[in-house]
Amino acid sequence: MFRGIFSKDPLALESIGYLVYDGTSPDPQALLYASAPERPGREHARFATLNVAGRTWTLHLYALPRFYSAHGSRLPLLVLVVGALVSALVFQVLLANHRYALLQARLLAQAQAATAEAQEAVRTRDEVLAIVSHDLRNPVGSILLSVRLLARRVPETDDAGHRAIAGIQRAAEGMRVLIGDLLDLVRIDTGRLVVEPRPCPLQEAARDAVDVIAPIAAARGIHLAVDLPADPLRVLCDRERVQQVFSNLIGNAVKFTQTGGSVTVRAEGLPDRVRVSVADTGPGLTAAERERVFDRFWQADKSRKGGTGLGLFIVKAIVTAHGGDVTVQSEPGKGATFSFTLPRAP
Ligand SMILES: Nc1ncnc2c1ncn2[C@@H]1O[C@H](COP(=O)(O)OP(=O)(O)OP(=O)(O)O)[C@@H](O)[C@H]1O
Ligand SMILES: [Mg+2]
């Protein structure tokens, strides 16, 4: 730009120029830029101090004596002033661009560092979680086994003994489920939740789960109804994983429904898939709660009854891995119906 303005006057090109200093004085140590290698004297010079983006710069504009002796009029001064203004403008634009690029680079570097740090933290958490969960699983398994053996040895008349054993069993079983859920969480987060769908009758996976939960429902005075078609509904399913889905959904329904309420498990065959629903007469969910119900660790404040808030997050991951989907229909005070689909076996 500077050269463009003075290109019509070759003498001006070599005898007019500018220097930029960092700070408020033209200190040679602080020289940032010189338009020509030649250093001018202080005569025929104009100094300007600029404050750009919080930093002070000194602009030194000059015309060498040979420029004046060639022109000998006020014109050179005018040219010098115009040149100075244009140069200052160009300088400001260049500086602003430069600072913007620097800022962007700094922000990008900060964002990259934060992402790397977050990824490292997640990896460490996953590793710790996996090691701890894995190492806890075996001792908890031994406790459960030993307690079962102990239960057989305690005389039937010893009520207090059996109550204590039942308490240990409940606590250990809770730990077993929690460890399993934490391991599943790590698997989901690291993309290692593998399902192996094979053709199997849906009723079998459902019954396995119902058999475990029926005594709990009965103890809590909740009517558990299972309304499945007599003909086998053959679906593509990883039986253990689908049983886990049933356990979570029926377990939730029983857990959150008040005594005297009911829970109904149904299934219907559609042309290419099977839809299963678990309906209850519990407290139901608001629209805002329905939005969050499948989030990890989410629990409605009003209905905290133990657990970690991982059940439905895992349910969703398992059903999705099967190529199905899971939904919830509910109104506050009118119960909740959780439904999921599985592809039919060919
Ligand atoms: N059938 C239901 N009726 C009313 N609220 C429910 C029902 N099922 C789930 N919820 C709400 O959704 C939350 C999340 O359910 P989720 O199964 O993920 O966790 P949890 O049952 O609290 O704990 P976890 O399953 O890990 O033992 C529950 O805490 C509860 O607030
Ligand atoms: Mg649950």
Decide: pTM greater than 0.75.
no
Q: Write the CA distances from 135 to 124, 141, 191, 342, integer angstroms.
A: 16, 11, 21, 34
The pLDDT of residue 275 is 96
The ligand 1 atom nearest the CA atom of 308: 26
CA of 163 to the centre of ligand 2 (A): 25
CB burial of 44-68 (b: ≥16 within 10 Å; e: otherwise) equals bbeeeeeeeeeeebbbbbbbbeebb
Task: Choose among 304, 216, 207, 210: nearest CA to 254.
Answer: 216
Please give the average pLDDT of every successive group of 10 residues along the chain, which has 346 residues.
62 78 86 78 74 76 77 65 74 83 93 94 83 85 92 92 92 90 88 92 91 94 94 92 96 96 95 96 95 93 77 97 97 96 94
Ion ligand 2, residues whose Cβ is below 5 A away: 252, 311
Q: Which ligand is nearest to the CA of 293?
A: 1
The pLDDT of residue 2 is 57
The ligand 1 atom nearest the CA atom of 278: 1
The pLDDT of residue 59 is 82
The ligand 1 atom nearest the CA atom of 177: 27
Q: Which ligand is nearest to the CA of 182?
A: 1
Phi then psi for residue 271, to 5 deg, are -55, -45
Probe residue for ligand 1, chosen from 181, 312, 327 as the CB with the greatest number of ligand atoms within 8 Å = 312
CA of 156 to the centre of ligand 1 (A): 36
Q: Write the CA distances from 323 to 195, 273, 274, 342, integer angstroms.
A: 11, 10, 12, 7
CA of 299 to the centre of ligand 1 (A): 6
Q: Which ligand is nearest to the CA of 254?
A: 1
The pLDDT of residue 6 is 62
The ligand 1 atom nearest the CA atom of 313: 18
CA of 305 to the centre of ligand 2 (A): 9
Pocket of ligand 1 (CB under 6 A): 181, 248, 252-253, 256, 280, 282-283, 285, 293, 298-300, 303, 307-313, 336
CA of 253 to the centre of ligand 1 (A): 8
CA of 333 to the centre of ligand 1 (A): 16
What whole-number distance in Å separates Cα of residue 88 and Cα of residue 60?
10
The ligand 1 atom nearest the CA atom of 338: 1
The ligand 1 atom nearest the CA atom of 312: 18
CA dihedral 76, 80, 82, 84 (to 10 degrees): 180
Q: Which ligand is nearest to the CA of 304?
A: 1
CA of 332 to the centre of ligand 1 (A): 14
